[in-house]
Structure 1
Amino acid sequence: MKPLDLLTLGRSSIDLYSANVGSPFEKIEAFNAFVGGCPLNIATGSQRLGLKTAILTGIGNDQVGNFIKHFLDKEGISTEWVPVIEGTRSSAVVLGIEPPDRFPLVYYRENCADINLNIDHVAAIPFENFKAAAFSGTAFSKDPSRTAMFYALELAKQNDVIRLLDIDFRADQWFDPRAFGVTIRAALGSFNIVVGTEEEILATFLTDKEQLLIKHQQISAPEIRGNIENGISEILASGVETLVVKRGKDGASIFQPGKEEVKVPGFPVEVLNVLGAGDAFCAGFSYGLLNDWDLYKSVRMGNACGAIIVTREGCANFMPTLEEVTAFTESYGGL
């Protein structure tokens, strides 16, 4: 088979987004159907920029699974490793959109297909044909997916594949939010690159449930108390080569062992919906990285993709093309 650039692993879903922007959740009258999930969003964004991508995710033997796979096929993303897992259901997400700062989120993931990915599904993947693999934290939340992800990390490392972790903390997907940190810390040393927000880094070292506060059911935007400097130092001490901290409108920062923090400015835009911004960032960052750009320019590309997506209604369906990103960045003076 032909070499591929990027494999993403983990969550996929049908996303039902409020069609009544600004309406309180209880007054929503209609929803628009899109697709989502951190790995699916990254794969779509990367594919639209020009990378050759594939995804390992699971779908149920149901119409929602057909909906998800139809989208992936239409985008040109390789679905060779997307199994239909009998006895499971494809995942779903429901979202309210109340800009600028309220985005209540409800997950429907009981016995969902992607969390039933197993060792055999991973073993079928020819890791030697990929340059990079992007993992998401939620895929480590339950077995058999958790064990499958650790096995995928082993195989990726054996084949010298770049291993990227999007921390992707979703507190309600874990039986105890502290279990998230215990699990992710066990995996950190196997990654070359880790990407996350300050809150996600703090979640990685959460020791007390009282440190975590979720308002208005904003699962993707928790408030977490802790020492961010210590968190950054711990991640770098684990063996991670590069840590990228996403800072929203303030851009992002690059941290590497023994080096000073490098701040990369963002692009000021008016926010419509923040969901998917981090995934768009990872897509843009991956595009730069796999085209041998330096870290600064790659992160700047990630910032641009994230800025574009927050002005749009949804996630995967609205990921920008390379032409759109180029026009956007040129309007700000370039990368």
Structure 2
Amino acid sequence: MKKYDLLTLGRSSIDLYSANVGSPFVNIEAFNAFVGGCPLNIATGSKRLGLNTALLTGVGNDQVGNFIKHFLQQEGIHTDWIPTIEGTRSSAVILGIEPPDKFPLVFYRDNCADIHLDLDHVAAVPFAEFKAAAFSGTAFSRDPSRTAMFFALEQARQNDVIRILDIDFRADQWFDPRAFGVTIRAALGSFNIVVGTEEEILATFLTDKEQLLIKHQQISAPEIRGNIENAIEQILLSGVETLVVKRGKDGASIFQPGREEIKVPGFPVEVLNVLGAGDAFCAGFSYGLLSGWDLYKSVRMGNACGAIIVTREGCANFMPTNEEVMQFVLDRGGF
């Protein structure tokens, strides 16, 4: 019997969200302080749904690191494997909220602690005690974290841990956006499940910088040109067992080698803030998967969590509880 349900690995940060919803970034007068980062958001969302979760990330020897760890401990997320890395700073992100379609995001990640995760930090994790591990693409963006993530993949595979990749493409975290695809393609075959938006899937096969366009500094929502059908096929040929393509208000699709696409409808809502929707999706999907649900119901759960979070101001701090999600789904006709 495994002791823990889910380990998430990679980014963590203090997130400073505009307190002036709808205000252009240059006119923001105040910020609200929350926490964030794809793996932290997934860990929080999964924990609130009922999973026993842990986070492997790094923090600096600073008050921001204390802020992040305090939140996690209050949530009941295991922080045993979060090192304080001397000589680094805990990460910060500044975000604007201009619905319906402008959500600028500015990373402050020079010398950030989580990108300094190393082999020793990974070696300290008891992978045999986890059912699943969720990785984020940004954690592969540079060393020593990149090598640490490949080592973590090895450890997870050797211990029969389900390996999930949230593609998490953030172009400005790579010295060249094409390097993202080269690195992720090298890792794809080690994952059981890959989750991403159409844009993130296309980024995995980016060959020309001109294919990428980022408007209004929306780092989390780039426009990418490419052949999505071919990209999906290439991911499945890599050895990935299941690919889940997130399609926003249109729900999501499930792809598996040799099988027809399964379309899973979403839940229409009025959008306040899209940031964190994908992480909420992954939390809900992971909950369903580790609860023994079939893929359709698990993805539907992910769609519900994503729909709820886009109506709220932030990410981790606003993740829904199991009771909230079940009532939300029930009110809309069930799974």
| Distance in structure 2 (CA, Å) of the matches to 1:103 and 1:332 | 28
Written as runs of structure 1 = structure 2, the 5 A alignment for 1:103-114 is 103-114=103-114
Residue 140 of structure 2 is aligned to residue 140 of structure 1: yes
Q: Which aligned runs of 4 or more in structure 1 are off by greater than 3 angstroms? A: none
Q: Which amino acid aligns with 1:77?
A: I
CA shift at 1:2, angstroms? 7.0
Report % sequence identity: 87
Q: Is the 8 A contact 2:2 2:128 kept in 1?
A: no
Please show how residues 96-107 of structure 1 align to structure 2 within 5 Å.
96-107=96-107
Q: What code does the residue aligned with 1:94 have?
A: I
Which residue of 1 is the match for residue 207 of structure 2?
207
Q: TM-score, normalized by length of structure 1?
A: 1.00
Q: Please say if 1:67 is aligned against 2:67.
A: yes
Partner of 2:193 in structure 1? 193
3-state DSSP of counterpart to 1:245? strand
Does 2:255 align with 1:255?
A: yes
Distance 1:90 1:275, change over 3 A: same
Cα deviation for residue 288 of structure 1 reads 0.3
SS for the counterpart of 1:189 is helix
SS in 1 for 2:190: coil
Q: Which amino acid aligns with 2:275?
A: L
In 2, Cα distance between equivalents of 1:282 and 1:25:
29
The answer as to whether partners of 2:34 and 2:314 remain within 8 angstroms in 1 is yes
Give 5+ residue unaligned stretches, structure 1.
none
Residue pair 2:195, 2:246 contacting (<8 A) in 1 also: yes
Following superposition, the deviation at residue 99 of structure 1 comes to 0.1
Distance 1:56 1:104 in 2: 27
Residue in structure 2 matched with residue 277 of structure 1 by the alignment: 277
Where does residue 177 of structure 2 map in the other structure?
177
2:296 corresponds to: 296
Distance (Å, rounded) in 1 between the aligned partners of 2:249 and 2:149: 32
Deviation at 1:37, TM superposition (A): 0.1
User: For residues 54 and 61 of structure 1, what CA distance do their matches in structure 2 show?
Assistant: 20
Alpha-carbon distance, 1:203 to partner: 0.2
Separation of aligned partners in 2, 1:99 and 1:6: 33
Distance across 1 between alignment mates of 2:304 and 2:258: 28
- What secondary structure is seen at the aligned counterpart in 2 of 1:180? helix
Alignment TM-score, normalising by the size of structure 2: 1.00
Count of residues in correspondence between the two structures = 335
Helix, strand or coil: the match of 2:233? helix
Tell me the alpha carbon deviations over residues 167-190 of structure 1, each in whole angstroms, 9 at most, x when there is no partner.
Answer: 000000000000000000000000
